[in-house]
Amino acid sequence: MADWNKGIVDEFRAKSGKGIGHFGDKLLLLTARGAKTGEVRTTPLVYHRDGDRYIVAASMGGAPRHPAWYHNLVKHREAEIEVGTERFKVRATPIARGPERDRLYEAHGANFAPFKEYPKKTTRIIPVVVLERAT
């Protein structure tokens, strides 16, 4: 997975976040500190906007566990994202369940159809994370 992520990150930066594979213009790069290792890692994620907020879903393709980046944001709420050519600090708010999570996840699936299928592949509730520009 690390090699795949590296390829996507390199393509994102080479193309200024536009036209990235089958993701098109729907990717951002999240850079966060590891919950266990403390190492800084960059992960490409599909996002959608909810007003000024950036929304990502911890789907891991419907895997039975949450992705590492989600655990990283639960422990370290400060991170950085790249959207297009812009790079800025954000504050993460994980939402594990409830009506707001449901609304945001449904919008995420409307933005990128594969997310509609991921809940069918797992027994866990897929959390969303709200990323807001840090002031």
pLDDT tens digits for 31-45?
A: 999 999 999 999 999
For the domain covering 2-133, report its CATH number.
2.30.110.10
Specify the pTM: 0.94
| DSSP E strand boundaries for 11-85 | 27-33, 40-46, 48-50, 53-57, 78-83
**pLDDT-derived band at 1, boundaries 50, 70, 90:** low
Dihedral of the alpha carbons of 65, 87, 34, 126, in degrees to the nearest 10: -10
Please state, in angstroms and rounded to a whole number, the distance separating the CA atoms of residues 4 and 66: 18
**Kind and range of the H or E element at 95?**
strand 86-95
